[in-house]
Amino acid sequence: MKQTHTICYVSKANPNLTIEEINEIFKLTEENNRLNHVRGILLHSLGNFFQVLEGEEKYIEDLYENKILIDSRHSEVFEVYRRNVTKPVFQNYFSQFQAITTSSQLDKVRKYLELNKRDSISEKLSRLLNPFIIWD
């Protein structure tokens, strides 16, 4: 069966980042990931980033190891999971990678994960996303 690689992490945003700089990260991430068929979400809340990446293994690993992990705009990256899956969470729902910047977008993700709770990754993500709040 075809495998998709996925990585999910939480990190601490550099406290000096401005809203403009955070938006810049969102914009570039959406553009790059859409071009490279990477699905998932990125959000910033309460001084943390939360990201889920899904896509081709070589590309995702290279992006994570050689770009994301060494990016000084965040630190203390805590990996929640990093593995191959046969049923990626975001492949069916989101047609493209999405930076979550509004509470209604976050609600939509939560509802989608809730509906797919029988799948263990969706269940885990659903619980992890609980404490995140977006003030728009």
Ligand X SMILES: Cc1cc2nc3c(=O)[nH]c(=O)nc-3n(C[C@H](O)[C@H](O)[C@H](O)COP(=O)(O)O)c2cc1C
Q: Does the footprint of ligand X cover residue 71 (CB under 6 A)?
A: yes
Q: Does the footprint of ligand X cover residue 63 (CB under 6 A)?
A: yes
x-or-dash string of contact with ligand X, 18-57, rule CB under 6 A: -------x--xx--xx--------x------x-x-x----
Q: Which is nearer to ligand X, 1 or 18 (CB)?
A: 18
DSSP type of residue 64: I
Q: Which is nearer to ligand X, 73 or 110 (CB)?
A: 73
The count of C-alpha atoms lying within 13 angstroms of the C-alpha of 59, restricted to the half-sphere facing its C-beta, is 13
Q: How many chain residues are in contact with ligand X, going by CB under 6 A? A: 16
Q: Does the footprint of ligand X cover residue 89 (CB under 6 A)?
A: no
CA–chain centroid gap for 79, Å, is 12
Residue with tokens 């630190």: 75
6 near 81, Cβ under 8 Å?
yes
Sort residue 68 into left (φ over 0), alpha (ψ -120 to 50) or beta. Answer: alpha
Least distance to ligand X, CB of residue 44, Å: 8
Task: Give the residue, chosen from 67, 83, 117, 127, that forms a contact with ligand X under the rule CB under 6 A.
Answer: 67
10 near 49, Cβ under 8 Å?
yes
Q: Does the footprint of ligand X cover residue 73 (CB under 6 A)?
A: yes
Q: Hey, which residues does 74 pair with through a beta bridge?
A: 13
What residues make contact with ligand X under the rule CB under 6 A?
A: 11, 25, 28-29, 32-33, 42, 49, 51, 53, 63, 67-68, 71, 73-74
